[in-house]
Amino acid sequence: MGAIGQKGILLQSKLPNIGTTIFTVMSKMAQDYKAINLSQGFPDFDCPDRLKELVTKHLNDGKNQYPPMAGIPALRQQIAEKVKAYYHYDADPETEVTVTSGATEALFDAIQAVVSRDDEVIVFDPAYDSYEPAIQLAGGRTIHIPLSLPDYSIDWDRVKQSITARTRLIIINTPHNPCGSILTKADLDNLAAVIRDQDILVLSDEVYEHMVYDGLKHESVLAHEELKTKSFAVFSFGKTYHATGWKLAYCVANKELSTEFKKIHQFVTFTTSSFVQYAIADFMAECPQHSLELPAFYQQKRDTFCRLIADSRFRFSPSKGTYFQLVDYSEISQQSDVDFANYLTREKGVAAIPLTPFYQQAPATNILRFCFCKDDSTLERAAEILCKL
């Protein structure tokens, strides 16, 4: 295939089947139609005042030149202390921690670091939409395994059967966007068993690590005896500190994996915004309670949203993690999820995310994703509309 660019130049797209991400499409539609935006995952409340003060301080203090490639030492030290406290993982901040421009960059770097031409990478559908293009750019092949309904769990027998001599990487995401499900210790044990004695690595997308509810626990690969030496674990400050626009994240992996990871990172972005790194390092030291309070903070939002739509015709089970709630709208409409999301945004004034764009082969379901990391007043306004459908 090919397209003719300006002046008759043959433009060969490297991602011919990729359009604009559904998050951008739905947020733009929400803006165009002045709809309440429960689509893209970002809070409509601000990050902590103290964090903004620290950003301003470091900006004014002149922390405005290139920081070290892997991130400033103070931030890497805080990250090492955090993964020790939460996951009992002893990270060497010098060799095992890399600060990146968002988790999106970390995911991309990890994939480029270890996936070569014709390597196979297993992802679970519905899969976050940045994985496959990165695999494609690395020359790899994406092997899609659907999560099993109704609880979006992983069928480990199917995973085992999908392993070939070319399997190089398995990408997991817990807590899971868009499903709001979480992996258990038994899941990680199954994963470890599947890749035991094989040259297969794990990329674990854990950006919603602090958003786990009802007393459940986030199971990080870093806390798993076997997986911790075979995995890249990716986390996002954007999610944790209500500052998605700052695009600050990090990857923790053993020295060997981090060395390869940094070779990519240094030529993708080299480093990331200096004064924000200083501010987050200070904030982590000053306010460790912020992360500890997040599960209760978001559980209250989940419960508020679920209570507000309890009498609607949407059917749902409360999310176990993330700040997303899936709902089944089959009592309201039999339209496709894309059509129903468009209708809801344009005609009713509430934007949501359809699930089918995250599948290679979507099942015949009527499911939408709503984002509840919003002020209670936003959730109330949206729910009033949703309850009338």
Ligand X SMILES: Cc1ncc(COP(=O)(O)O)c(C=O)c1O
Give the span between the Cα atoms of 324 and 353, in whole angstroms.
10
Binds ligand X (CB under 6 A): choice among 27, 78, 112, 177 = 177
**Candidate segments 46-54, 98-106, 282-290, 327-335, binder of ligand X by CB under 6 A:** 98-106
Binds ligand X (CB under 6 A): choice among 77, 244, 272, 277 = 244
- Between residues 96 and 109, which has the closer beta carbon with respect to ligand X? 109
71 binds ligand X (CB under 6 A): no
Nearest of 80, 75, 113 to residue 273 by alpha carbon: 75
- Between residues 127 and 350, which has the closer beta carbon with respect to ligand X? 127
> Between 294 and 313, how does the x/- string for binding to ligand X read (CB under 6 A)?
--------------------
CA 320 to chain centre: 15
Give the span between the Cα atoms of 256 and 259, in whole angstroms.
5
Neighbours of 6 (CB within 10 A): 6
Min dist. Cβ of residue 130 to ligand X (A)? 7
Binders in 28-57 for ligand X, by CB under 6 A: 41
102 binds ligand X (CB under 6 A): yes
Tokens representing 361? Answer: 């082969």
- Beta 201-205 vs 167-173: how paired, if at all? parallel
Tokens representing 53? Answer: 């003060």
Neighbours of 55 (CB within 10 A): 23
**Candidate segments 101-109, 193-201, 272-280, 361-369, binder of ligand X by CB under 6 A:** 101-109
Binders in 110-129 for ligand X, by CB under 6 A: 128
Size of the site for ligand X (CB under 6 A): 14
* Residue 19 burial (C-beta neighbours within 10 Å; 0-12, 13-18, 19+): exposed
- Which residues touch 142 (CB under 8 Å, ≥6 apart)? 120, 121, 123, 131, 132, 135, 136, 360
Min dist. Cβ of residue 173 to ligand X (A)? 5
Min dist. Cβ of residue 128 to ligand X (A)? 4
- Beta 231-236 vs 201-205: how paired, if at all? parallel
238 binds ligand X (CB under 6 A): yes
- Between residues 235 and 340, which has the closer beta carbon with respect to ligand X? 235
**Candidate segments 68-76, 83-91, 110-118, 243-251, binder of ligand X by CB under 6 A:** 243-251
Q: Return residues touching ligand X (CB under 6 A).
A: 41, 102-104, 128, 173, 177, 205, 207, 236, 238, 244, 247, 249
